[in-house]
């Protein structure tokens, strides 16, 4: 089968996510570690989401997605985005790769890659990659600060990183679809 004939991974998200989990080596022990450390991470949900959006506002290339016509931060939009990011973090911490959840991840991918409305337009893929890096760093920092045993903190950070990279692979799927006008 040629690459052109191959179905988009979004056609069977559960299979795609399972394959990505296997590829990055996300094992049952990793899943148990994530679930065990999730309360520590979630205690810092507001700080993590706030820091991520504060970071975006420091760079004109990303700030444009979160400002109003007057150039000032759109506080209501930022609060909605923080709420959505918090929901994603809470649901991620459950590591329940159900049919509904993997398609929720795909919906996130499409909402970023095919965004036809709102300030700034479509979000370039490099910002999705950068945002995931910021999230990984924030989670690793929490684990470093909250877990007394450095080996346990490293083990937990590695497990979370594997999971977040699976999510990143899903988020990047939206960028593989041709623009809407090319598909019509």
| CATH architecture assigned to 30-176 | Orthogonal Bundle (1.10)
Break the chain into its structural domains and give their ranges.
30-176
Query: What pLDDT, on a 0 to 100 scale, did the predictor assign at position 175?
Result: 84
Burial class from Cβ neighbours inside 10 Å (0-12, 13-18, 19+) for residue 162 reads: buried
Contact present, 118 and 65 (Cβ < 8 Å): yes
| pLDDT higher than 90, residue 113 | no
Nearest to 57 by CA among 45, 43, 69, 72: 72
Contact present, 44 and 147 (Cβ < 8 Å): no
Residue carrying the six token digits 């706030």: 50
Least confident residue range of 27-31, 72-76, 121-125: 121-125
The DSSP element (H or E) to which 117 belongs, if any, is none
Distance separating alpha carbons of residues 26 and 14, to the nearest angstrom:
15
Contact present, 103 and 87 (Cβ < 8 Å): no
pLDDT tens-digit readout, 13-44: 999 999 999 999 999 999 999 999 999 999 99
């Amino acid at each position: 089968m040629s690459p052109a004939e191959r179905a988009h991974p979004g056609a069977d998200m559960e299979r795609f996510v399972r394959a990505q989990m296997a590829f990055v080596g996300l094992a049952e022990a990793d899943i148990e570690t994530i679930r065990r450390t999730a309360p520590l991470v979630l205690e810092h949900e507001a700080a993590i989401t706030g820091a991520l959006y504060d970071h975006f506002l420091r760079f004109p290339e990303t700030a444009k997605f979160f400002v109003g016509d007057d150039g000032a931060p759109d506080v209501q939009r930022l609060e909605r985005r923080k709420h959505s990011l918090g929901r994603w973090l809470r649901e991620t911490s459950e590591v329940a790769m159900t049919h509904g959840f993997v398609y929720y991840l795909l919906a996130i991918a499409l909402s970023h890659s095919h965004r036809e409305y709102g300030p700034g337009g479509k979000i370039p893929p490099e910002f999705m990659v950068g945002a995931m890096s910021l999230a990984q760093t924030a989670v690793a920092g929490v684990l470093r600060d909250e877990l007394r045993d450095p080996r346990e903190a490293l083990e937990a950070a590695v497990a979370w990183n594997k999971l977040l990279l699976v999510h990143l692979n899903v988020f990047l799927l939206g960028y593989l679809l041709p623009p809407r006008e090319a598909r019509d």
